[in-house]
Chain A
Amino acid sequence: MIASAAVWLLQNFLQVLAMGFMLVPEIFLLVVSYEIVSGPLRAERVSMWLWFAFAGGILWDLRWATSPGMSGLINVGVVMAIYLIWKRTPIAGRSVFLFAVLAGVAHFLSGIAHYLAWATPSHIAVRMFLIQQLLSVPVLALLCMVYAFRRTDISV
């Protein structure tokens, strides 16, 4: 959880650097998604991550003055959705691909929600949204690699 808090700070750090140029990918949301699927789906553990994601979202909203509370709700929704899907998926089916799809869709939907809440339609806003989505790909790929590695490690 400390590492995830550091990831939140990293995302904030990058956003300060890129302020005015682009939106940084939601690394925090992707890492929280990874944390949900990479450990046991115990209720108290998932609940903890759920509140952690909520707090991260609220702080993000307060820092970057988007619609206050929206990021918290999105993060909570993402954690819950991933938890439910992952829980209902047989262990054999909990693949890297499924994780990539879930995290990718979560990031995309979060980006869309922010875009709709924040942006008046313009080419620049669309371009920033697309760049944010593209930049999330390497982060997602890295998390997928870590997940695959740990999965193999556990299997061995």
Chain B
Amino acid sequence: MAGKLNPVLVNFLVAVFCGLMFMWFSHSFPDKTRIAADRVSVALSYPEMPARELRTLVQTLDNWMMERGTLHQRLHGLELENIALRTALQRSGAAPPVSTPGLVGASVTLRYPNAWWKEIRVNRGSSHGVVVGAPAMSEGFMIGRVSSVGPEHAWIELVTSSTFLLAAVVVDTWDLGVINGDDMGNIWLMYMPPDKEFKQGMLVSTALVGDYLPPGIPVGMIWGPGEVRDGLMPHRVASGARLTQLYNVQILLSGESP
């Protein structure tokens, strides 16, 4: 009894022998082993089918996501390119800033959308002789006044700003009033008597008010009367400059006349 071999050990030894024989066989007869492997693969192909389908589905989904990402990136790139081309097109259409004696030409470098009718920034500053209060012009009409100056830039408050106040005169009638914006793109000539009638197209220009602002700079033309308020009637003024296409301006230098 004591010499009896453990059956597990016997089975183990037989299994090891079989395993080694299998290894030898598979190395000696790879073709036959391949046939066996193929048959096993065929037999397993049925239970593996859902896994294969799932794998294909995941790969298709992954490819779709990647393709979508690539298309998204491409679209974004095209959008940026489109914007750059539009900008270049607009810039090529705009005349370069021109400096003349007494006037310094400047390009608009910034115009915030949320302050569209209030202010712009230009690329000329104190190093070019620009001073606070100097009038800015476009196409021969005043479009605003320098509100702050840096060495290489200046901020211009537009005539359409609600905080912009400027003494002005109706050239044909010599009536004095105050030019004021409404932040909505409109310009108003304030403080006119209600019985005063102006003809459409009458020129409005600056009145003598300060050292940096000579009289006689055109601001715009009378467009029509507004509503009577506090016994006074504002008149709408149409700017002579195209405020929606403001790419370049000219700033009057100190002590000069346009």
Contact = CB atoms under 8 A, between A and B. Distances in A.
A16 B44 CA distance: 11
B64 interface: no
A67 B8 contact: no
Interface of chain B: mostly helix, strand, loop or mixed = helix
Q: How large is the interface on B (under 10, 10 to 19, 20 to 34, 35 or more residues)?
A: 20 to 34
B26 interface: yes
B23 interface: yes
B26 A46 contact: no
A69 B8 CA distance: 20
Q: How large is the interface on A (under 10, 10 to 19, 20 to 34, 35 or more residues)?
A: 20 to 34
Contact of A12 (B22, B26, B48): B48
B55 A69 contact: no
Given A69-B19, A69-B20, A80 B8 contact: yes
B6 A69 contact: no
A12 B40 CA distance: 12
Interface stretch (A58-66, A93-101, A104-112): A58-66
A68 B11 contact: no
B12 A58 contact: no
Nearest to B47: A9
Contacts of B16: 73, 76-77
Contacts of B8: 43, 46-47, 50, 80, 83
Given A9-B47, A51-B15, 15 more contacts: A12-B48, A16-B51, A16-B55, A17-B54, A17-B55, A47-B11, A50-B8, A50-B15, A57-B19, A62-B37, A62-B41, A68-B33, A70-B23, A76-B16, A80-B8
28 contacts: A12-B48, A13-B47, A13-B48, A13-B50, A16-B48, A17-B55, A43-B7, A44-B7, A47-B8, A50-B11, A50-B12, A51-B11, A58-B22, A63-B37, A63-B40, A63-B41, A63-B44, A68-B26, A68-B33, A68-B37, A69-B23, A69-B26, A72-B18, A72-B22, A73-B20, A73-B23, A76-B15, A80-B9
